[in-house]
Amino acid sequence: MSKLKVDEIRSADRSVSSTANITLADDGKVNFAENLVIANGKGIDFSAVSGSASGSSSALLDDYEEGAWTPQLTEGTYNYTMNSDNAGRYIKVGNMVHISAMVRPNDNVHSNGNYGNQAKITGLPFTSATGSGNRGGFSIGYFDLDDATVIGIYAYMNDNVTQIELYRGSSSENATQNLTISNFGGNGASTAHYIYLSGTYITS
């Protein structure tokens, strides 16, 4: 790998060479012609930035990535066959992971599975952290259900897992109950079922 030569650094406010990889402006800004690559284990330190929350555990940005994950609808030991457009995305900044997904089973959710077992979404890209304040709740924007007694769907992530647990509230019960696939109603195999969700959780 070639090293940066001194004469490749120019002031952006003076005659800048078109081949310069780094330019230093008089206002203090450093401009890179291409991506800024940080050595392994290093990062950008924001600890000197005013207004930082007191007691923060870290002000070092040393990890960022984007990618895809494959959500899997499960019930007990049964993994549903998922449709080709079943998909998820994630963005990870430090130890904070933001996910979004459309979860779409392809087989008949009314006749397959292990009825009576809690429905879950597995396959998340990172394992959740363990400890107070690290558990995650997720927003479900759309949940295709047929059962009129189900009035609320809730998604929750526990410690040290890569799965989301699904719960329901119903018109006949005061307490939140486990969501099972039997709660999806009974239209048959031709019905397309969708779950759209997003949320953020903490990983170790």
Domain ranges of the chain: 64-202
How would you write 45-56 as a 3-class SS string? Answer: ECCCCCCCCCCC
What's the token pair of residue 58?
A: 């870290």
What's the token pair of residue 90?
A: 């994630």
Q: What's the CA gap between 89 and 188, in Å, rounded? A: 29
What's the token pair of residue 135?
A: 């558990």
112-166 pLDDT, tens per residue? 666 678 889 999 999 999 987 778 889 988 777 555 566 678 899 999 999 999 9
Beta carbons of 119 and 168 less than 8 angstroms apart: no
- Average confidence (pLDDT) over 77-93: 92
Beta carbons of 164 and 157 less than 8 angstroms apart: yes
First to last CA, the chain: 34
167-194 pLDDT, tens per residue? 887 766 666 788 877 665 544 444 567 8
In this predicted structure, what is the pLDDT of residue 148?
56
Q: What's the CA gap between 163 and 136, in Å, rounded? A: 11
**Closest by Cα among 114, 138, 122 to 72:** 122
Q: What's the CA gap between 64 and 200, in Å, rounded? A: 15
- Average confidence (pLDDT) over 72-88: 89
